[in-house]
Structure 1
Amino acid sequence: MKSFHDYFDCVPYLESQRLILRPFSRLDMAEYFDILRDDQVQKYLGGGVPLFDKEPHISNWLNNINGRLLKSKTVFTWCVEEKSTGKIAGRVDLGGFQKKTMAEISYHFGRSFWGYGVATEVVEKVTSFGLENLNLQRIQGLVRVENTASIHVLEKNGYKKEGVLHCYPFGKEFHTVVMMAIVSPKLDE
């Protein structure tokens, strides 16, 4: 049986019914930047996901997410690809690990994938990976209060609203956010 540390050799390949979660590559960058250029996508990200579409920033980012941050057991960053078309749907992160028991989930997707259950499917897969494979006791997500669609995605995956944080640092800005969390069912046994 793999331990927590065994999963950080490379970004784990995960697959759901319609999607593949895999490491980002240089070939994904143009399509991913198109997602980030959309003001509607950026609206709820708190200025925390900059557009870095020039070298050496691209190489540095890829080296960080697929190398340094992974090896330091800081975060998993997945590129989300639609199986049927090969299109990049977005990104999901699981990181901020604390004592190998807790992590935070975050995600964003291209607008053409909104409303089709893509976020729900991705959150389900990453949450299962975190709770079952990494044996996390808790996964949490911070969502701006006005982002009701994202709150709903987390609720559909068993996350519970734990509270509202006012003037909270979110990305590079301050916003009112909802703390959503799911706790391992093993804790109830």
Structure 2
Amino acid sequence: MSRIQLSQIITKRLILNQPSLNDLGKISSILNASELYSKNTINIPFPYTLDNAKFWVKLADDGLKNQDQYIFAIRLKESNELIGGVDLGIDKPFNKAELGYWLDQKYWNNGFTTEAVKSIIQFGFEELKLKRIFATHFTSNLSSGRVMEKAGMKKEGILKCHTYKAGVYQDHVLYAVLNE
């Protein structure tokens, strides 16, 4: 695979592009606004520090260089304001990727996450030529499942005691979509 130059993905209302060091304050501010981000994900800590934001931006840079993770900032097209993040973690030997996302709570229930997820699935299939994209959510996070369904993903099952977080085993609902 030749090196992919990630510029941006433009949708009807959003721009998805590389997060930068200029975004650190905004990222930290959003992810510190509520403990829900941490409660509903495996990898977002609370509190969320500037160092955590730097790590995420570096992960985006390294992932692009290594072609094993494509991390996009989600921005409003009209203002370029950062409102979230979406990514594909690539499993090259099996030509598949795990999808992840988060969105500023102020923008929930407006279809922005679904719009971003649909566009990154299209990117994964058309640009990266992936065969499978999958995602999971905690059984308690039904809204995330609705996003996956609206983006064309199909529920495949429940992964019992899939992760252990904050002293509790978490069941995950598994969704996937195939490039057919």
Task: Mark yes or no: TM-score above 0.5.
Answer: yes
Segments of structure 1 that go 5 or more residues without pairing to the other structure are none
Are the aligned partners of 1:41 and 1:110 in contact in 2 as well (CA < 8 Å)?
Answer: no
Q: Which residue of 1 aligns with 2:179?
A: 184
**112-121 vs 11-20, greater mean Cα deviation:** 11-20
Segments of structure 2 that go 5 or more residues without pairing to the other structure are none
Match of 2:117 among 119, 123, 136: 123
Match of 1:53 among 50, 54, 75: 50
Taking only the aligned residue pairs, the percentage that are identical comes to: 27
Q: Which residue of 2 aligns with 1:159?
A: 153
Q: Cα offset for 1:109?
A: 0.5
Q: Which residue of 1 aligns with 2:63?
A: 69
Q: 1:24 to 1:171 in 2, by over 3 A?
A: farther
Aligned partners of 1:170 and 1:83: how far apart in 2? Answer: 37
Q: 1:158 to 1:71 in 2, by over 3 A?
A: same
User: What's the secondary structure of 2:3's corresponding residue?
Assistant: helix
Aligned partners of 1:171 and 1:96: how far apart in 2? Answer: 24
Aligned partners of 2:165 and 2:76: how far apart in 1? Answer: 27
Q: Which residue of 2 aligns with 1:41?
A: 37
Instruction: Provide the aligned length of Structure 1 versus Structure 2.
Output: 176
Aligned partners of 2:162 and 2:105: how far apart in 1? Answer: 26
Q: Which residue of 1 aligns with 2:3?
A: 6
Match of 2:25 among 30, 48, 51: 30
Q: 1:59 to 1:146 in 2, by over 3 A?
A: closer
Q: Cα offset for 1:44?
A: 0.3
Q: Cα offset for 1:88?
A: 1.2
Give me the CA root mean square deviation. Answer: 2.0
Are the aligned partners of 2:60 and 2:70 in contact in 1 as well (CA < 8 Å)?
Answer: yes
Deviations 1:68-116 (A, max 9, x none): 3322222011111111122211001101323262001000001011000
